[in-house]
Amino acid sequence: MTAYTTIDSPIGEILLTADGGALSRLYMAPFTLDPAWRRDDAALAEPARQLAEYFAGERTEFELELAPHGTEFQRRVWGLLLEIPFGETRTYGSLANELGNPRSVRAVGLANGRNPISIVVPCHRVIGADGTLVGYGGGLERKRTLLAHEAEVSAGFRATLW
């Protein structure tokens, strides 16, 4: 059974779901609740706590069990996203190169866009080849806010989005 909760954040309401105790989704509003899901705030207390620490500038890495649903290729791309350090960015092309197929840029972009656990699996850290902010399901303003937050925290400012 899928458990869910919602939390407030500086970038709006966030939906968290867990399957078998592992975080399976992190969606930003607007989102739709599945009637088969069961609200269980306690089951998602740890992800909620770690996200609050992230937004407060106190956490740069998440320590959560993850269960994203996707194809093998998508999971490979999402694995690369987890390797992008806090406060840094990568391009779609550099991720395609890391996968060993420089021509897979478009497929990398599509997989990035289907990331079901945004922020924790940091798809916001992927930018266009020319350094521009492109393609973020939560909206470019949220992407800009998350990257600015990480840059400030990385620079030693105890910035908080709360």
The per-residue pLDDT for 118 is: 97
- What is the pTM (predicted TM-score) of this model? 0.94
Going by the DSSP 8-state scheme, the letter that residue 36 receives in this structure is T
Whether the CB-CB separation of 25 and 119 falls below 8 Å is answered with no
Q: Are 118 and 26 in contact (CB under 8 A)?
A: yes
- Residue 156 has a pLDDT of 84
The per-residue DSSP string of 56-117 comes to TT--SS----B-----HHHHHHHHHHHTSPTT--EEHHHHHHHTT-GGGHHHHHHHHHT-SB
Query: What is the model's pLDDT at position 47?
Result: 98
Pairing of strands 2-7, 14-19: antiparallel
Q: Is 93 a catalytic residue?
A: no
Contacts of 64 (CB under 8 A, 6+ apart): 22, 23, 46, 47, 50, 120
pLDDT of residue 162: 47
Task: Report, as ranges of residue numbers, the positions in the chain whose pLDDT lies below 50.
Answer: 162
Rounded to whole angstroms, what are the CA distances from 67 to 15, 24, 75, 151, 155?
A: 15, 5, 10, 28, 32
User: Which pLDDT score, from 0 to 100, does residue 135 have?
Assistant: 85
Task: Give the single-character DSSP code of 20.
Answer: T
Q: Which of 11, 108, 123, 146 is catalytic?
A: 123
Task: Please give the pLDDT value at position 65.
Answer: 98
Q: Structural domains in the chain?
A: 2-55 (3.30.160.70), 72-154 (1.10.10.10)
